[in-house]
Structure 1
Amino acid sequence: MAAPSPFPQQLVHLDLKGAPPRVSYLAEIFPLFRALGASGLLVEYEDMFPYDGPLRLLQATHAYSPSEIQEILLLAQRHELEVIPLVQTFGHMEFVLKHKEFSHLREVDAFPNALNPHQEDSLVLVGTMIDQVMALHRGARWFHIGSDEVYYLGEGEASRQWLQQGQNDVAKLCLTQVAAVARRVLTAHPAVKPIVWDDMLRGIGEQSLTESGIAQLVEPMIWDYVADLDVEGKVALMEKYQRCGFTKLWAASAFKGATGVNQSLTPIGHHLRNHVQWLKVADRGPVGMLQGIALTGWQRYDHFAVLCELLPVGIPSLAVCLQTLQHGMGGYSEKVKDVAGKLLGTSNLEVDVFMRDDLGTFPGSDVLALVTQISFHLRCSVEELLERNRYVTGWFSPFHRKRKLIHPVMIQHFQPEALSLLAQWEAVRQELQVALERILYPDAVEEWMEENVHPLIQRLQDLLRDLDRAMEATDT
């Protein structure tokens, strides 16, 4: 019998700052999350939350409505998934600070990533954001205030002046702001415990951490997404936090979105190894400290980055990772593979290579199948024709195309193939468009297609257009 998971809570992270799913798709996928072993959701709203009043401009075009938020929460409750909202309040504030109305709150005037901790309006802003989110999440036990990757902290003019005074340093600046936000949460919502990403805390000395009192205010979430995670280093970090007064910690792994800024397919093996390592950390770390683990599924590296793996594409990886956690120190096994495969509707679950056949029957599996087809075959087929077909490279090069030159005999050697390829990929494009529109909003569909499909099809269309022009010129 498998040992129970050492993580009391197992949260699936929904990163809504890119390709947010329609509520109808969440209704389809939440039962699978629960069946796989998830106990909750870490929902990173970013610009998908229906902010109101002066914050209304933060909303994305297709932001969820208040009624849709309530529907999501009811769906989660129905499937016994506890919801923890996540709102960035320090770093990764691009979705707020990109707007001219809030640009005066930037730490560095030129960069919209980090909030200026010296402006009183900064705390007013994040306090208002928190209150609006909490108003729709009554009963939440935790609230994640983000605060990771606060790049350029200390480099703003106000910070430079502050750092020249007394014993001030960047660590103190960071701790002061995180503590202020945490106190704002606790004052307005005393039943809620703030969670914070831990990367800005890791390098701070034990004395500074202890004296700041931050341990009484927040629960750090230690994140690391690499396959060869340093187990002993993470155990030592947990022990450091324990010495500084923290009584509870969280871990954060990744099931997708951590292996390439424009990754299309999810390397399951990488994420599986990451989770196996986290199980070792949980086994060797201080007893009773871990509240749980968040399986992150990043959709963009930041607000301005391109989309990485879409949620349906990452579902098989999520299945393997959640089931591995369910088996505790037993880790990954054939039983894990069989159970995950059964829940996904596939008998051919692969972890060490990208899946190509029998991709399952889970909600969104059609998207995975089509994205796989495009990733493996579209680019290759177009490049094979345009860059390795001797008749194209030899008799219809860029030089020929620009001058509308073509030997009539050579047309028969590549025109039929180009027409066939274009028809084939147009059909796939249309099928994928329909599949994506069922799950995602129009702007996300447009973005993914423009990044991954349209440019390749356009190359075929351009070739055939230039060929038609050259044939017309030859006929005259």
Structure 2
Amino acid sequence: MSSPTPFKMRLVHLDLKGAPPKVSYLSEVFPLFHALGANGLLIEYEDMFPYEGHLRLLRAKHAYSPSEVTEILRLARLSELEVIPLVQTFGHMEFVLKHAAFAHLREVALFPNTLNPHEAESLALVQAMIDQILELHRDVRWLHIGCDEVYYLGEGETSKQWLQQEQNSHAKLCLSHMQAVASHVLTQHPGVTPLVWDDMLRDIPQEQLKASGVPQLVEPVLWDYGADLDVHGKVFLIGKYQECGFQRLWAASAFKGATGASQALPPVEHHIRNHELWLQVAGSGPKDALQGIILTGWQRYDHFSVLCELLPVGIPSLAACLQSLVHGGFAEDVRLRAERFLGVSSLEIADTVRYVTGWFSPYHRRRKLVHPVMIQHIQPEALSLLSRWNNLVQQLEVALQPVFYPDTIEEWLEENVLPSLQRLQDLLQDLGEAAARQPPPTSPGWDTGQNP
């Protein structure tokens, strides 16, 4: 595909630590990704990878089998999507460190976020994870080893003692583990280059970065998902990394999953703006400074958080963002090209809302007070809406079943649909109780304690 985009590689991120799609659904969307302008995938398996041996306990209930991973890779090749697997090796290790068998490898005993870099067993653990993943991904050119948001690093007891030595620092602690993991990849898997998220590198002094040897081992991925991305700051950071000796750099944007831990629908304009600013970064810095861009689509903020936007509802945003990259912006002609991929629907509640808020507020509901005329306004609409909600829940379950596993469907409905359904049911129950307490027609009604 010939295009003016400065990003030769455009990878769609599949975050499988929440709502992992069934392989049959991936077979449908991979051709779409390619048609929209993607030529690669970053697959963050987390607990969906079929680990074996002592790592088998890391598998989620519906973890892909080895044959399913092989099929995913085959489907990616058919759609001309180059695959880069991602395995966390430092921070975001909750899916490993939550298990009792590995809890002793936590940096801070109470928190499962971060691996203790002082333990030889810690390095052996991530090496085993890497080896198993690359065993099923033999032809890949890159492996993403994570290393972002290494929270609480330096706060463990061993680290505190280590940091008391004058020549030691948090930066040195981070770089030494990154170096050890990357060296394993390069020595044991020739031809595979490690990628790392760049946030732990940004504030490390240039000379220290250069002296660490890390720039010769990894390629950093500069990530920023904001609609207010600082273009000049990113260009400056690119220059700093290049002067430190990093040979190739990557960018990372977001098409979903970056605007709220419980976000249900992506704010498309926010994500388009993010990509337009990344295009400005690529156009302002040295030519071909950025090897490619990863369009992240986070499914959970971490292993324990709620689900954010599901992949299917993120497709319109992905379409707009990929088309922006392919055509160098999101001008009107590009918007028209992407229009067929975009669209939203909504349930209208009409006048019922103002009647409820004005005449059946929480104050009225607690006291079971309601104007008789308002029962006629509220009850039919609410009953109709409840019927539509019940139908919608059934339709959603049917629509989600071909895409996701049962536990994902249960979680998503419980988080995003059932609370609204329950509120509507509660409203109708309160209304029914208030209606039952209505005095006979000849009665003057309740005494509000106010003069006429």
TM-score calculated relative to the size of structure 2: 0.91
Q: CA–CA distance in 1 between the matches of 2:374 and 2:269? A: 46
Residue equivalent to 2:450: none
Specify the SS of the correspondent of 1:199: coil
**Aligned position for 1:40:** 40
How far, CA to CA, are the matches of 1:122 and 1:250 in structure 2?
28
Matched, 1:454 2:418: yes
Q: CA, structure 1 residues 381+234, in 2 after alignment: closer, same or farther (shift >3 Å)?
A: farther
Show the counterpart of 1:145.
Answer: 145
- Alignment check: 8 A CA contact 1:300 1:307 kept: yes
User: Structure 2 counterpart of 1:443, which letter?
Assistant: D
Structure 2 residue matching 1:263: 3-state secondary structure: coil
Alignment of structure 1 residues 166-181 onto 2, 5 Å = 166-181=166-181
C-alpha separation in 1, matches of 2:32 and 2:205: 42
Distance in 2 separating the partners of 1:213 and 1:394: 63
Deviation at 1:464, TM superposition (A): 3.3
- Matches of 1:26 and 1:145, distance apart in 2: 23
1:229 counterpart SS class: coil
Instruction: Give deviations 1:350-385, integer Å, cap 9, x for gaps.
Output: xxxxxxxxx2xxxxxxxxx5xx426xx47x988656
- Cα drift, residue 288 of structure 1: 3.2
Please list every run of 5 or more consecutive structure 1 residues that lacks an aligned counterpart in the other structure. 350-358, 360-368
One-letter amino acid matched to 1:373: S
Count of matched residue positions in the alignment of Structure 1 and Structure 2: 439
Q: In the TM superposition, what whole-angstrom CA distance separates every residue of 1:41-95 from its partner, at most 9, and x where no partner exists?
A: 0001111111112111111111111111111100000010000000111001111
Distance 1:473 1:192, change over 3 A: same
CA distance in structure 2 between the aligned counterparts of 1:169 and 1:39, rounded to whole angstroms: 40
One-letter code of the match for 2:151? Y
Q: Percent identity?
A: 64
Counterpart code for 1:106: R
After superposition, residues 390-409 of structure 1 pair within 5 angstroms as 390=359, 392-393=360-361, 397-400=365-368
Deviation at 1:411, TM superposition (A): 4.8
- 1:425 aligned residue (389, 393, 412): 389
Alignment of 1:11 with 2:41, yes or no, is no
**Corresponding residue of 1:352:** none
Give the Cα separation in 2 of the matches to 1:62 and 1:445: 13
Q: Is the 8 A contact 2:365 2:430 kept in 1?
A: no
1:249 maps to a residue whose letter is L
Matched position secondary structure for 2:200: helix
Check conservation: 2:25, 2:403, Cα contact below 8 A. yes
1:277-315, Cα deviation, whole Å (9 max, x unpaired): 111111222233321110111111111111111111111
Answer whether contact 2:196 2:221 (CA < 8 A) is retained: yes
Q: Is the 8 A contact 1:385 1:418 kept in 2?
A: no
The answer to whether the 8 A contact 2:92-2:150 is kept is yes
Q: Secondary structure of the equivalent of 2:7? A: coil
For 2:335, the equivalent position in structure 1 comes to 337
User: Does the aligned pair in 1 maintain the 2:282–2:289 contact within 8 Å?
Assistant: no
Aligned mates of 2:162, 2:224 — CA distance in 1? 32
Q: Distance in 2 between matches of 1:227 and 1:408?
A: 50
Determine which of 409, 417, 425 is the counterpart of 1:445: 409
Paired residues for 1:76-475 under 5 Å: 76-328=76-328, 331-342=329-340, 344=341, 349=342, 359=343, 369=344, 372-373=345-346, 377=348, 386=356, 388-390=357-359, 392-393=360-361, 397-400=365-368, 411-466=375-430
Partners of 2:355 and 2:125 lie apart in 1 by 55
- Give the counterpart letter for 1:230 in structure 2: D
Q: Residues of 2 paired with 1:236 and 1:18: CA distance?
A: 35
In 2, Cα distance between equivalents of 1:106 and 1:382: 53
* Pair 394,128 (structure 1): closer, same or farther in 2 beyond 3 Å: closer
Q: Is 1:58 paired with 2:53?
A: no
The CA distance in 2 between the partners of 1:80 and 1:259, in whole Å, is 30
Residues 423 and 179 of structure 1: CA distance in aligned 2, closer, same or farther (over 3 Å): same
* Partner deviation per Cα, 1:406-460 (whole Å, 9 max, x = no partner): 8888754533333222111111111112111221111111111111110111122
Equivalent residue number for residue 449 of structure 2: none
1:398 partner letter: R
- Which whole-Å deviations, capped at 9, do the CAs of 1:3-36 have from their partners, x for residues lacking one? 5221111100011111111111111111110011
How far the C-alpha of 1:186 sits from its partner, in A, is 1.2
Cα deviation for residue 177 of structure 1 reads 0.4
Structure 2 gap ranges (5+): 440-452
Q: How far apart, CA to CA, are the structure 2 residues paired with 1:13 and 1:226?
A: 17
For the structure 1 residues 333 and 2, does the alpha-carbon distance in structure 2 shift closer, same or farther, using more than 3 Å as the test?
farther
**How far apart, in 2, do the equivalents of 1:2 and 1:50 lie?**
38
Residues 435 and 172 (structure 1 numbering): CA distance in 2 closer, same or farther, change over 3 Å? same
Whole-angstrom distance in 2 between the partners of 1:293 and 1:411? 56
Contact 1:382 1:456 in 2 (8 A): no
SS of 1:73's partner is helix
Distance 1:468 1:15, change over 3 A: same
CA distance in 2, matches of 1:185, 1:8: 24
Per-residue deviation, residues 209-266 of structure 1 (Å, max 9, x unmatched): 0110001110000001111211111111111011111110110011111111111111
Q: Following TM superposition, by how much is the alpha carbon of 1:133 offset from its aligned partner in structure 2, in angstroms? A: 0.8
Displacement of 1:471 in angstroms is: 6.8
For residue 120 of structure 1, report the CA deviation from its aligned partner. 0.8
CA deviations over 1:104-141 (Å, ceiling 9, x no partner): 11111111111100111111111111111111111110
TM-score of the pair, normalised by structure 1: 0.87
Is the 1:406–1:470 Cα contact (8 Å) retained in structure 2?
yes
2: distance between equivalents of 1:2 and 1:336?
15
Q: CA deviation at 1:466?
A: 4.7
| Matched residue, 1:365 | none
The two structures, once aligned, show a CA RMSD in angstroms of 2.3
SS, match of residue 195 in structure 1: strand
